[in-house]
Amino acid sequence: MDDEYNEQEEYYDQTTSTNATTNVRNSKVVPFDSSNRSNTSTPNSQIDLVEPRLYGDAREIATQLLDGKAVIVNFSQMDANTAVKVVDFLNGAIFAIDGEIKRIGEQIFLCTPRNFEVAGKLAATLKNMGQSEM
């Protein structure tokens, strides 16, 4: 009988260890990919600041939008007629990528691709600040 008891005990130990490994396999915890760990310091999203001086700078801004970057464009260094043409060009690029353009200052625009969400009413806040200073 002692032999039978020892056999059952060994069988019980094997079942316990099998259940333990099964529980680990069914765990809902997923390990991080080690290749992603090295890139944690690199931001996924980026906002570029641009002060165009020529109409040709519009193409560079559109390329940044196509690359998934948001761009803040300050037109203070550009004459008004050229700035209007650049804004028209950027509106076309933004329409093509389902993005958004918002005026956030007198001569400053925020252009964002689809994966950015712009919340708040900064333009109204800036307008109110300008009126209170006068």
23-49 per-position pLDDT tens digit: 455 555 555 554 444 455 555 678 899
Spatial neighbors of 66 by CB under 8 A, at least 6 apart, are: 93, 97, 113
How many angstroms separate the Cα of 103 from the Cα of each of 61, 75, 84, 95, 112? 16, 11, 13, 16, 12
Name the more confident of 117 and 81. 81
d(CA 69, CA 44): 9
Question: pTM here?
Answer: 0.59
Place of tokens 């801004």: 61
Domain segments of the chain as ranges: 2-34, 39-133
39-133 belongs to which homologous superfamily? SepF-like protein (3.30.110.150)
62-78 per-position pLDDT tens digit: 999 999 999 999 999 99
Residue 81: band (very low, low, confident or very high) from pLDDT cuts 50, 70, 90: very high
Would you state the structure tokens that stand for residue 89, as one six-digit string? 């060009």
